[in-house]
């Protein structure tokens, strides 16, 4: 049977027309709200961060707009982005860690930049350019097969902050990369049957011996420099801490036969990265705080003297909460003694690296674990750094919410938190 068709009469049309008329004011309100939102976003970009629209346009290197490798020649603005920052600026960098998602989301980054502007002694940002999930901020030039996030304005914001005088560090997670491990399983640590090996927390790792992974990390780093970052900071520049002796137990890690130790492999990788960044940016490496205590490479390839010979900055994560063994530095609960822990760790780090290339720039704790960390605890760590005549450090909080009331330069106080 055919479909029934009903011809509406005048009476059935009238209510429909009235309903349409009553909807029009709502449409107008929605449009007005959208225009207001647009104006607010514009105000955010061009008043909170005033900058030249051309410098922050889509043609800036590294924003994923291009289809080929970036050529930094022939543009005065782009040449400026790859010019090496002064060592003086790097040695006085006092920074905050910012996740990729916070940096890439204006409504979330507003809180961070407002905090920094209230505390002008902070002059540095450490921003994820490749995170622990293997993500990068946006689609990159060919040759970087990482998973892109949707933050196409990333490079524009980097340029804004560069113009405002901030020292910008790109944090790049080197060998913990679940995305790349799945994309290129032959470059990952694998079980004897070829399946992907997982650490005790279920995470996937790239094989640090594989020079294809070295090239991959190098490409991401050079891409970050095209965005305008001044320094490349490699995190997870090590072997998994639950993978000691895997090379001799059937786990597939091709290339291990070329090195006497894991420490030698990591040192060779850092030398490779240093050559690639020579004259373009500084190179730093994040290391466990225990590296300042241990005399070997702890089975993960991080031996302090080897690392310090290959990079510009060593960044030990001297978070007091991570010194969980009773008795460290003479304290039953080291976490309750932030000033003393950081002071002793700095003492060891500076003594062991004296005369080597790498300068010490520690990561400090601005988060709470078993004990609450507030102004007093954060200040104590900063004071411990300055008392060693070191002017540079970074604060870590994974939520990017930092403590109020801290003096970010030396306040001249000597002694521990427990002194009267």
Per residue in 25-70, pLDDT tens?
Answer: 455 555 555 544 443 443 344 334 433 433 344 333 333 322 333 3
pLDDT for the residue 83: 72
- Of 250, 269, 251, the closest CA to residue 259 belongs to 269
Instruction: Dump pLDDT digits (tens) for 114-134.
Output: 999 999 999 999 999 999 999
Q: In Å, what is the CA distance from 312 to each residue of 22, 287, 330?
A: 67, 14, 31
* Pairwise CA distance, residues 111 & 90, whole Å: 25
What's the average model confidence in pLDDT over 389-418? 83
- The dihedral built from the CA positions of residue 128, 134, 140 and 143, taken in this order, carries a sign that is positive
Instruction: Dump pLDDT digits (tens) for 353-385.
Output: 999 999 999 999 999 999 999 999 999 999 999
pLDDT for the residue 246: 85
pLDDT at residue 307 tops 90: yes
* Averaged confidence pLDDT in the chain: 84
What's the average model confidence in pLDDT over 290-297? 94
Instruction: Dump pLDDT digits (tens) for 212-236.
Output: 999 999 999 999 999 999 999 999 9
E strand or H helix that includes residue 118: helix 106-118
CA dihedral 240→243→248→254, nearest 10 degrees, is -30
Instruction: Dump pLDDT digits (tens) for 174-185.
Output: 999 999 999 999
Tokens at 344, concatenated = 């002793």
pLDDT for the residue 72: 32
Q: Which of 42-56, 87-101, 132-146 has the lowest mean pLDDT?
A: 42-56
Tokens at 284, concatenated = 């730093």
- Domains, the chain, with CATH or none: 51-396 (3.20.20.80)
pLDDT at residue 244 tops 80: no
Task: For the chain, give the percent of residues with pLDDT over 90.
Answer: 74
Q: DSSP H helical segments within 45-99, as ranges?
A: 76-81, 87-91
Of residues 268 and 418, which shows the higher confidence score? 268
Residue 368 in 3-state DSSP?
coil
pLDDT for the residue 250: 85
Q: pLDDT tier at 143 (50, 70, 90 boundaries)? A: confident
* Pairwise CA distance, residues 110 & 125, whole Å: 14
pLDDT for the residue 29: 53
What's the farthest any 2 CA atoms get from each other in the chain? 96
Phi, then psi, of 196 in degrees rounded to 5: -70, 130
What's the average model confidence in pLDDT over 376-399? 98
* Pairwise CA distance, residues 318 & 338, whole Å: 9
User: CB neighbours of 191 closer than 8 A, spacing ≥ 6?
Assistant: 197, 250, 251, 252
- Number of H-type helices and E-type strands within the chain: 12, 11
- The dihedral built from the CA positions of residue 171, 172, 175 and 181, taken in this order, carries a sign that is positive
Of residues 199 and 27, which shows the higher confidence score? 199
């Amino acid at each position: 049977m055919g479909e029934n068709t009903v011809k509406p009469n005048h009476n059935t049309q009238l209510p429909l027309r009235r309903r349409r008329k009553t909807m029009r004011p709502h449409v107008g309100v929605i449009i007005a709200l959208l225009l207001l939102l647009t104006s607010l976003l514009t105000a955010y970009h061009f008043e909170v961060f005033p900058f030249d629209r051309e410098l922050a346009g889509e043609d800036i290197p590294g924003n994923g707009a291009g289809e080929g490798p970036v050529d930094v020649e022939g543009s005065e603005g782009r040449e400026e982005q790859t010019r090496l920052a002064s060592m003086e600026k790097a040695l006085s960098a006092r920074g905050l860690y910012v996740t990729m998602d916070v940096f890439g989301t204006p409504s979330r980054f507003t809180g961070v930049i407002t905090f920094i502007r209230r505390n002008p002694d902070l002059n540095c940002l450490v921003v994820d350019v490749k995170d622990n999930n293997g993500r990068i901020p946006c689609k990159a030039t060919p040759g970087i097969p990482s998973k892109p996030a949707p933050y196409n304005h990333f490079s524009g914001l980097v340029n804004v902050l560069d113009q405002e005088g901030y020292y910008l560090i790109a944090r790049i997670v080197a060998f913990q990369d679940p995305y790349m491990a799945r994309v290129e399983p032959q470059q990952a640590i694998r079980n004897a049957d070829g399946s992907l090996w997982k650490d005790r927390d279920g995470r996937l790792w790239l094989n640090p011996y594989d020079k294809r992974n070295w090239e991959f990390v190098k490409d991401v780093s050079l891409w970050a420099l095209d965005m305008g970052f001044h320094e490349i900071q490699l995190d997870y520049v090590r072997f998994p801490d639950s993978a000691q002796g895997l090379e001799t137990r059937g786990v597939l890690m091709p290339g291990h036969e070329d090195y006497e130790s894991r420490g030698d492999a990591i040192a060779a990788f850092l030398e490779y990265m240093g050559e690639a960044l020579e004259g373009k940016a500084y190179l730093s490496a994040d290391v466990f705080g225990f590296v300042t205590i241990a005399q070997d490479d702890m089975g993960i390839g991080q031996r302090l003297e080897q690392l310090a010979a290959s990079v510009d900055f060593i960044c030990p994560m001297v978070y007091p909460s991570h010194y969980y063994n009773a008795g460290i530095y003479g304290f039953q609960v080291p976490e309750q003694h932030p000033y003393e822990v950081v002071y002793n760790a700095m003492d060891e780090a500076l003594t062991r690296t004296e005369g080597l290339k790498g300068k010490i720039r520690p990561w400090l704790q601005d988060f709470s674990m078993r004990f609450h960390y507030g102004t007093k605890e954060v200040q104590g760590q900063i004071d411990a750094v300055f008392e060693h005549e070191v002017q540079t450090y970074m604060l870590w909080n994974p939520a990017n919410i930092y403590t109020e009331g801290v003096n970010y330069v030396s306040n001249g106080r000597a002694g521990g938190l427990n002194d009267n």
